[in-house]
Amino acid sequence: MPQDHLEYYLAIESDLVTCSRFVDFSTNNFQTHSLEFARIILAASAEIDAVAKEFCKAINAASRADNILKYADEIILVYPNITNIEIAAPRHNIRLKPWDNWTATTSPPWWRAHNNIKHDRANNFGEANLENAIAAASGLLAIILYFYKQKNGQQLEISVFDGPKLFCVTNLSQNDDWENGGIFWGYTLP
């Protein structure tokens, strides 16, 4: 259920916000790595895998997609702008496109880091860094938003009080249903 995915995202985001008390979220610290960043990357990526699988089934009930490249093949066909969605952490002056360059042959850099950490953490621990943690968490938010739109035929309405506190979608368009406002910026899907 999409709302469950959002709740899971919010738990991951909360952990990431806690990390900001110890490591300043700036590009100067993007290579700072830790066990907590490893945990966030692994948790966000595992949830992305679950959401993407459901997303593909929502697009095509007969879908057999079972990995990030096969998910791209099906999701990007219907939602090509997912690769353009820009997520920001305004308080930290950070902007990124977590799904940039995602194709049926290329996974995002943070996803490759996730696999490296998952399969050989001892030799790839440096990839458990702030940059990949932010990218994985923002990638999860983005895919949840698109999944919800596919599943329910409309944008997800999120309360300013119950929604994400760290990230927002930045590329606003007058053709989308989301609005800016309050503490939490609304989402616009490109």
Candidates 108, 90, 87, 116; CA nearest to 20 is 90
User: In terms of pTM, does the model score above 0.85?
Assistant: yes
Can you give the pLDDT at residue 3?
60
- For 150, residues 6+ apart whose C-beta sits below 8 A from its C-beta are 55, 58, 59, 78, 79
- Integer Cα distance of 138 and 3 in angstroms: 17
Cα Rg for the chain, rounded, in angstroms?
16
CB atoms within 10 A of CB 75: 25
Q: Extract the tokens encoding 122.
A: 């001892």
Q: Extract the tokens encoding 10.
A: 């919010």
Which has more pLDDT, 187 or 138? 138
Q: Nearest 5°: phi and psi at 22?
A: -110, -30
Task: Give the 3-state secondary structure of residue 168.
Answer: strand
pLDDT digit string, tens, across residues 105-157: 999 999 999 999 999 999 999 999 999 999 999 999 999 999 988 888 777 77
